[in-house]
Chain A
Amino acid sequence: MTFADRMLRLDRRIIFLLVGLCTLIPLLYPVGLAINISSEVRGVYDYIDSLPEGSVFLLSLDFDPASKPELYPQAIALLRHAFRKNLRVLGMTLWVSGTGMAEQVIGQVASEMGKVNGKDYVFFGWSPGVSAIIISMGQDLYKAFPSDYYGRPTNTLAVLQGVKTLRDVNYVVSLAAGTAGIETWYVFGKDKYRFELGGGCTGVIAPGLYPLLRSGQINGLIGGLRGAAEYEVLVGKKGRAVAGMDAQSVTHFTIIILVGLCNVFYFLSRSAQRRSEQHR
């Protein structure tokens, strides 16, 4: 067995250890390189920034704990921006296992910015049905959510004054980790009820949403932890996303080097095989 063959059969636990160290060390000793802002993220930021005070902003946190590292920082940055602009924030989720996190993030940022539940924001919680809940909200918000997450009748809340259906919402942003997310909000929501729609998503589904971005069906897209970092820079308060960018850089280059080495060893192994076949 040649050296190249031996390297191709390397115990994967060595690779695991390498990846673990390449992620841990930059987190412990960050450098802080500059982050360029993409037009996709700017689309969401500029639209929220253009909304007048008192506009209605619906944030749908459509993710579960598995996607927390990517989407929770996006939620924090968006909520900070919305509360700073004094928008009326409506929070909800389409994913049952994300309800606790959704409640936590809205409560945390609201109390940080001095906002009052019922007056400045409302948290609807979760309701089953995905497409059914979106259509219900589009038809009659109070029939879809007769009470908020804490049991208060929604038709008595000051924050929902003048809001009867999704047509009265100025901007909806869905932070999505998969189906029951941005596409669902468009197909069952924006298609008929004509609100403006933006998106935030995990890196896995981001490439699949570019057709909607290009056609203007969504006006912006915050993709993955990098998108969250860009939004944190725009909002002017750096958090976990920016802190994770150095580790992201190092791990990407580690994967590139591993893939490069794999190909080098593969071609070396192949040419050694060919040479030994020629000698026979």
Chain B
Amino acid sequence: MSIVLGAWVATGLTLFIFTFLYRDNPFFKLAEHLYVGISVGYTLVKAVDTVGVRLLYVPMIEEGDWSLLIPLGIGLLMLARYVPRAAWLSRWAFAFIVGVGSGLAIPRVISSYVLKQIEDTVRPLVSMTPDGLTFTASLLNPASNLNAIVLLIGVIAVLFYFFFSVEHTGPVRVAARTGIVFLMISFGAAFGYTVMARMSLLIGRLTDLIEFADPQYGSPSLVLLAATVIGLIVWSRWGGRARTGPTDSR
């Protein structure tokens, strides 16, 4: 029973959000505000349960670990931000968090993102095999010597493009313009993948709607689709005349 009710509610809310494609309307606004409210409520419950109960109450009260009063104090200091006269106290908490966070991050980021990445960029340009030195030129193998050269050129060219302390003239200009070509190809690939991702999200939602069109749930997809369309027509006739939405043809 709760599953059937859930199917109807889920379908209704999904269709309310889809109505935005026609025009901004009260159905969408209602769903949008519900979404924000429910997300915030869920986050608060999880935070209270995880931090309040599992990480603070149980270790302190049931296991006697009173050292946790220190992070509790720092957390409460952070909330002092909302008390105008005591707001400056929150600076101590933020200073602690930011100081520790920066200190933890610096050596790890240098090791992971700078050193390791440079290490993989400056790879040998020829390979050593039992027969001696060879140059592997297979484009399909990302680890081949030819691709190592292309990768090296790409990294240096793009770094030159983003280095604005030196004027982009002469050889620097050649490097920078090569960098732009590499950048455009990468952005093109990123666009292709973004299209793939967005379409996948739509495929997922439509798959759920198709599942909920099944008679075992009472066919909420079909019934609520008809109801939403009728609702939109009624609203645009009587309520939505003065409004312009995001979908005007200009």
Contacts and interface: CB of A to CB of B under 8 A. Distances in A.
A and B touch in the complex (CB under 8 A): yes
Interface in A159-196: 183, 186-188, 191-192
B189 interface: yes
B54 interface: yes
Given A97-B39, A215-B116, A225 B196 contact: yes
Given A214-B142, A217-B112, A243-B207, A69 B39 contact: no
B54 A206 contact: no
A23 B202 contact: yes
A60 interface: no
12 contacts: A11-B247, A11-B249, A23-B206, A69-B200, A70-B200, A128-B51, A192-B108, A203-B197, A215-B117, A215-B119, A244-B200, A252-B195
A203 B193 contact: yes
Contacts of A269: none
Q: Is the interface of B mostly helix, strand, loop or mixed?
A: helix
Given A97-B42, A248-B200, A146 B195 contact: no
Interface residues of B, number: 49
Given A12-B247, A203-B200, 15 more contacts: A13-B21, A27-B203, A69-B201, A69-B203, A69-B204, A70-B200, A96-B43, A125-B50, A146-B59, A202-B197, A207-B189, A216-B120, A224-B200, A244-B203, A255-B199
Contacts of B59: 146
A33 interface: no
Interface string A100-137: 00000000000000000000000001111001000100
A255 B195 CA distance: 8
In the A-B complex, list the 5 residue pairs whose CB atoms are closest, starting with the nearest: A69-B204, A203-B197, A215-B120, A225-B200, A11-B249
A70 B197 contact: yes
B108 A23 contact: no
A25 B85 CA distance: 62
A204 interface: yes
Interface string A214-234: 111100000111100000000
A67 B50 CA distance: 23
Contacts of A55: none
Contact of A244 (B105, B117, B189, B204): B204
A180 to B, nearest CB: 14
B22 interface: yes
